[in-house]
Amino acid sequence: MALVRFDAAAFLRDYWQKKPLLIRNPWSQWINPLDPDELAGLACEPEVESRLVIGAQGSWAVEHGPLAAARFAKLGQEPSTLLVQAVDHHVPQVAELIAPFRFIPDWRIDDIMVSYATDGGGVGPHFDQYDVFLIQGHGRRRWRVGQVCDADSPLLPHDELRLLANFEATDEWVLEPGDILYVPPRIAHDGVAVGDDCMTYSVGFRAPSRSELIAHYVDDMVAEMDDDDRYCDPELAEQANPGEISVEALATLHQMVCGALADRQSFARWFGEYSTTPKYPEVDWTPDEPVSLEEVRLHLANGTTLVRNPASRFSFIQADEGVDLFVDGHCFSCRDGSEAFARKICAESRLVADAKLLQPDSVHVLVMQMANRGAIAFEQDD
């Protein structure tokens, strides 16, 4: 599916992180990619994050998955909403919904959450710290958007949901299948199903906080530091007042801290690894049997299509004489002609590599390493 009635450049200029936008069915042809029963089945799996929200209008109860299959038959008449995270990791047809939004860099993409709601179902007025495209897949949902919120916005007392105590709607729309609502960070919004069988696909984006970046970067740096690297002052002179922390001492201490943080190359490599760490690193995607270099060469010689794992994250950073390729938190130094392949595999989710891309033997080794990590696979004939 592709967006045919959508101007990405105009959207980035006028709306991205600025204000909401309703986009009426811009697809060449909208087809709902997931059946409600399939979504319920995913919510029963232990490796899939899911929630069931029951109730509406100030009285919400939350149950966390995995859910028993029999639970869905006992929901009764009360409005309910099933929310399943990272459905794109498990359903290729849902993963295809990311492609139309890749005018935004891949490292910003989080996942696709899918919700299924009965009439009146929703999760209440709230705000998020990230951008989201809300695609109406099936049925109808009434969306209201409101004020800009922040950490001081008052919330209702609830252990599971961050619900706004005050919601001031400024716009309201009913979305039909194929319609999209873009909501920027910190904009209050509330979606309520209009009728049963309401399915919504939420394409969410990541925006790391300053505190998150500093905390994770420093933690990783400290883990690699030598305990012998300590403050020293071999030229110490006697002070008039021993209680003073001198300007010279402060300058040395400050440099010890800030000098380590100022290494741009170290930060770039760290961020490449950090930003491509899988959302659910505990899930094992490695193949049952390791792929040998000979098997890789045979597949590539036969023109077998390489398919990226939708759960894997790929990015690259320009480096001297090549690129550093980051896949699922691992760095691959791509020099000696493998740079073009690294760029290509980051750009395309499915790839038939031509002979020129495959010339260096380093490409074969790279493909083997990624395949044995479960990041890519060779497409099998039906």
Q: What is the pLDDT averaged over residues 334-349?
A: 92
pLDDT of residue 350: 93
Question: Does residue 276 have a pLDDT over 70?
Answer: yes
Full-model pTM:
0.92
228 DSSP 8-state letter: T
pLDDT tens sequence across 216-268:
999 999 999 999 999 999 999 999 999 999 999 999 999 999 998 999 999 99
Helix axes 247-261, 210-224, angle to 10 degrees: 100
- Do residues 145 and 256 both lie within one domain? no
| Structural domain span for residue 36 | 8-205
Q: Give the whole-number percent of the chain exceeding pLDDT 70.
A: 99
pLDDT mean over 49-67: 89
- Statement to judge: residues 68 and 192 lie in one domain: yes
Nearest to residue 78, comparing CAs of 122, 143, 41? Answer: 122
Residue 75 pLDDT class (50, 70, 90 cuts) = confident
151 and 69 fall within a common domain: yes
pLDDT tier for residue 321 given thresholds of 50, 70 and 90: confident
Q: For residues 222 and 193, state if they share a domain.
A: no
* pLDDT at residue 382, as a whole number: 55
Could you tell me the pLDDT band of residue 381, with boundaries at 50, 70 and 90? low
Q: Are 88 and 303 in contact (CB under 8 A)?
A: no
Longest Cα–Cα distance in the chain: 84
CATH number at residue 139: 2.60.120.650
User: From its phi and psi, is residue 203 left (phi > 0), alpha (psi between -120 and 50) or beta?
Assistant: beta
User: Given this model, what pLDDT does residue 237 score?
Assistant: 93
One-letter amino acid identity for 154? P
Confirm whether 64 is domain-assigned.
yes
Query: How much is the pLDDT for 359?
Result: 75
Give the start-end residues of each E strand in the chain. Answer: 21-23, 50-56, 59-64, 80-84, 109-117, 132-138, 141-148, 171-175, 180-183, 187-193, 198-205, 306-308, 314-319, 322-327, 330-334, 350-351, 376-378
pLDDT (mean) for 50-64: 87
The one-letter amino acid code at 80 reads S
Q: Is there a contact between 201 and 94 (Cβ–Cβ < 8 Å)?
A: yes
Pair of tokens at residue 121: 């179902």
Is 2 a member of any domain? no
Q: Is 318 domain-assigned?
A: yes
Where does the pLDDT of residue 60 fall: very low under 50, low under 70, confident under 90, or very high at 90 and above? confident
Higher pLDDT, 161 or 374: 374
Q: Clarify whether residues 160 and 18 are in a common domain.
A: yes
Do 51 and 152 lie in one domain? The reply is: yes
Give a yes or no: residue 272 inside a domain: no
Q: In what order do the strands lie in the sheet with 350-351?
A: 350-351, 306-308, 376-378
Question: In the predicted model, what is the mean pLDDT of the chain?
Answer: 94
Give me the number of domains the chain comprises.
Answer: 3
> How much of the chain exceeds pLDDT 90, in percent?
85
Q: Which CATH number goes with the domain that contains 312?
A: 3.40.366.30
- pLDDT-derived band of residue 58, with 50, 70 and 90 as boundaries? low
- Three-state secondary-structure class, residue 361: helix
- Residue 358: pLDDT band by 50, 70, 90 thresholds? confident
User: Are 81 and 154 contained in the same domain?
Assistant: yes
